[in-house]
Amino acid sequence: MTIKKLLLLLLLFASISALTACNTPLPAVQERADTISYVPIPREYVSVSCVTHGTGYIHSFYIEEPASSSRLGGREAGGTNCGGIIAAGYALPKTWFPGMKVKVRWKPNGREWVEKTTNIMRYDEVGTIYVHFFPGDQVRVVSALPYPESLKHPIPANATVPPPEEQ
């Protein structure tokens, strides 16, 4: 009988311990003193266009913004084929900085979607974003005031090979 009472008492003690452990208050969370402050990046809203260099028809394309306050990444602009300018309100940093990467998605005619991450080429002035598509699923992104047909555009309209990608 004593063993039975001892086991019952032990079971009761274990049950009470388990129940009260769930009811224990958590310690107050201390705020971190080393929080990183948010530094806003001055942006300008620009239009988006694309240029093909021997790749054939681009059915649709999208480009993700390089800077966004969202922790999920930037918004996307695009959604149309090459051949016009999209007044998309694309947020581009006013000052270029090294390593400014963007994700580009496009659908070549008759093929599945292609997705690449590339750097935005160095710019001194904010202008229209031009996405240049080259053979072999290569892509370059520039911000330029001159149209692609201009001799002052960073990538010549008759180029068949993409310029080296800047880091």
- The pTM score is 0.70
Please give the Cα distance from 143 to 100 (Å, whole number). Answer: 12
Integer-rounded Cα Rg, in Å, for the chain is 28
In the block, residue with structure tokens 């053979």: 135
pLDDT of the chain along its 167 residues, tens only? 677 776 666 665 566 666 565 555 555 555 555 555 556 778 888 888 889 998 888 888 888 876 544 444 455 666 666 766 676 678 888 999 888 888 999 999 889 999 999 999 999 999 999 999 999 999 999 999 998 899 999 999 899 999 988 75
Number of continuous H segments (helices) and E segments (strands) in the chain: 1, 8
- The answer to whether the Cα torsion of 73, 75, 81, 84 is positive or negative is negative
